[in-house]
Structure 1
Amino acid sequence: MNVFLWVLQGILAAMFLMAGVMKTTQSKEKLLEKLPWVEDYSTGTVRFIGTAEFLGAIGLILPAALDIAPILTPLAATGLAITMLLAMNAHRRRHEPGAIAFPGVLFVVAAFVAVARFGPWSF
């Protein structure tokens, strides 16, 4: 199970790392081409979301891998799960039911990692 959790953490980290880098480095106009929800938020808010995703991705891997404050790994997973709940709500408010599924899957995976790493497979 530990290996399975590491695989899930790696996949989540890759997804959120890419999303975080994209949201923190690209202009709002360029992001609008791929992410229509960006029009509802200020540039600062989009950058904040990207930074949170980037730091969450790092928090999924580094603390446990380096054995430095490994409690940060399930905390990062919890934070990313909350971020996905907020993303699902944003898509619901925009009447985009098709866009809710992907953050929903990421929420389930992040919540599973958080519960498992807080519980029986903690570091």
Structure 2
Amino acid sequence: MHIAYWIVAGLLALFYLYSGAMKVFRSREELRPMMAWVDRMPLSAVRALGAVEVLGAIGLVLPPLTGVAPWLATAAATGFVLLQIGAIAVHLTGEDRQVALNVGLVATAGVTIWLTTV
């Protein structure tokens, strides 16, 4: 299970590190083609969401790697489940209504939670 955790958590962390960095550093115009919802939110909220994603990605990898507070990996994965539930709600209330990626991320984060407890 240890190897499975690193594969799943590593892929999830890479996704959120990339996604979060884009939200932190790119302009609204650069984000719009990929994320139609950015026009409905203040830019500061988009930046904060990106920072949360980057910190969550670090939380999936660093605690188990160092052995210091490994429960933080479970907390980070749980946070990603909650984040994606909110993202699904945002997509469903907007015009884009594409939630397949979000559902996949909920499932992947759920598997990560399960792997931290096994």
TM-score by length of 2: 0.95
| 1:77 equivalent in structure 2 | 77
Question: Equivalent residues in 2 for 1:51-66 (5 A)?
Answer: 51-66=51-66
- How far is 1:116 from its partner? 3.0
Alpha-carbon distance in structure 1 between the residues aligned to 2:103 and 2:33: 22
- How far is 1:33 from its partner? 2.4
Question: Equivalent residues in 2 for 1:37-116 (5 A)?
Answer: 37-97=37-97, 99-116=98-115
Asked if the contact 2:78/2:110 (under 8 Å) is kept, the reply is yes
| 1:3 equivalent in structure 2 | 3
Kindly provide the amino acid, as one letter, of the partner of residue 12 in structure 2.
Answer: L
Which consecutive segments of 4 or more residues in structure 1 shift more than 6 A? none
Kindly provide the amino acid, as one letter, of the partner of residue 93 in structure 2.
Answer: R
Secondary structure (helix, strand or coil) at the match of 1:69 reads coil
Structure 2: state its 5+ residue gaps. Answer: none
Question: Equivalent residues in 2 for 1:13-24 (5 A)?
Answer: 13-24=13-24
Structure 1 vs Structure 2: percent identity of aligned residues? 32
Alpha-carbon distance in structure 1 between the residues aligned to 2:109 and 2:95: 24
Alpha-carbon distance in structure 2 between the residues aligned to 1:24 and 1:95: 23
> Number of residue pairs matched?
118
Alpha-carbon distance in structure 2 between the residues aligned to 1:95 and 1:42: 17
TM-score by length of 1: 0.91
